[in-house]
């Protein structure tokens, strides 16, 4: 028996909502799956980008300008002093800092002229009264337009009263005098620097050799002192 056209239309009308529901459910399922995949992908990409940024932060470096820029095109010299107590307990500390900072500025600060470090130390050694002279007198003695004075005010390797535990510290004041200015004995620039090593407490002589503590303290202080005078890169993760 052939169904009438009217019955066929009624059957199609009844089945249409069911097909629409099935189609809608399928589309919703696909959309949900797509959104979930995109969300997961976004999380993965975000985590990857974040990880790359953190890796760059930890392994990269940042460029910093000089704090005092007026060595370029000028003659200069570095002189370093400390109290007699510091010199007696740590012989050679001022000469080492003096020479290495002077060398770094010769190489990086673009001076017009500088006294070679060995010759500079010879002049200072032969003029032991120089710390008592005015800064303009020292600049004239050395024949320079810029005099950088490093005064070490504190230097120790151990905890106070405990010679077995390392607690290294060095502090100094860095001043710059311009002998060609109207006030050659007044500092044009001044900066205090304080450095410590080791970076955490509890290290003993059996853990770190004394020479390593002395070398690292000096290196850190020399870096901080020299970096004041020329553009330089610093690691983003630096403990001092």
How much is the mean pLDDT over the chain?
86
* CATH architecture under which domain 66-235 falls: 3-Layer(aba) Sandwich (3.40)
Query: How confident is the model at residue 35, as a pLDDT?
Result: 46
The span from the CA of 1 to the CA of 157, in Å, is 110
The closest of 155, 133, 38, 43 to 79, measured between CA atoms, is: 133
Statement: the pTM of the whole predicted model exceeds 0.75: yes
Asked whether 135 and 149 are in contact (CB, 8 A), the reply is: yes
Asked whether 92 and 125 are in contact (CB, 8 A), the reply is: no
Query: How confident is the model at residue 13, as a pLDDT?
Result: 45
The span from the CA of 128 to the CA of 148, in Å, is 17
81: number of Cβ within 10 Å: 16
The span from the CA of 165 to the CA of 206, in Å, is 9
| Residue partners of 144: CB distance under 8 A and separation at least 6 | 74, 75, 76, 77, 113, 114, 115, 179
Q: Which stretches within 60-195 are classed as H helix? A: 84-89, 93-108, 117-126, 135-142
Asked whether 87 and 94 are in contact (CB, 8 A), the reply is: yes
Four-CA torsion 87, 99, 111, 235, nearest 10 degrees: -100
Tell me the pLDDT tens digit for each residue of 25-75. 554 455 555 545 555 556 555 555 666 656 656 789 999 999 999 999 999
* Res 213 pLDDT > 70: yes
Apex 184 CA angle, 218 and 126, nearest 5: 55
Query: Residue holding tokens 């009263």?
Result: 161
Query: How confident is the model at residue 8, as a pLDDT?
Result: 47
Task: Give, in order, the Cα–Cα distances in Å from 228 to each of 7, 195, 221, 232, 239.
Answer: 95, 15, 11, 9, 17
Query: How confident is the model at residue 59, as a pLDDT?
Result: 80
Task: Give, in order, the Cα–Cα distances in Å from 129 to each of 37, 78, 89, 124, 141.
Answer: 78, 16, 20, 9, 12
The span from the CA of 150 to the CA of 138, in Å, is 13
């Amino acid at each position: 028996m052939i169904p009438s056209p009217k019955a066929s239309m009624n059957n199609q009308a009844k089945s249409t909502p069911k097909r629409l529901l099935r189609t809608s459910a399928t589309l919703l399922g696909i959309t949900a799956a797509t959104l979930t995949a995109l969300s997961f992908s976004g999380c993965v990409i975000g985590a990857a980008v974040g990880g790359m940024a953190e890796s760059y932060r930890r392994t990269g470096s940042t460029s910093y300008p000089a704090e005092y820029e007026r060595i370029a095109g000028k003659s200069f010299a570095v002189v370093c002093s400390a109290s007699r107590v510091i010199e007696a307990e740590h012989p050679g500390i001022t000469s080492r800092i003096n020479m290495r900072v002077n060398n770094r500025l010769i190489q990086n600060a673009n001076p017009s002229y500088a006294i070679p470090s060995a010759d500079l130390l010879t002049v200072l050694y032969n003029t032991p009264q120089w710390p008592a002279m005015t800064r303009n007198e020292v600049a004239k003695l050395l024949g320079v337009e810029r005099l950088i004075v490093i005064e070490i005010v504190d230097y120790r390797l151990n905890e106070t009263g405990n010679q077995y535990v390392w607690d290294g510290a060095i502090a100094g004041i860095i001043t710059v005098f311009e002998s060609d200015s109207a006030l050659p004995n007044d500092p044009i620039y001044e900066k205090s620097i304080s450095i410590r090593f080791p970076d955490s407490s509890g290290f003993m002589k059996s853990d770190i050799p004394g020479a390593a503590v002395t070398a690292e303290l000096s290196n850190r202080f020399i870096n901080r002192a020299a970096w004041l005078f020329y553009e330089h890169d610093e690691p983003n993760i630096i403990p001092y």
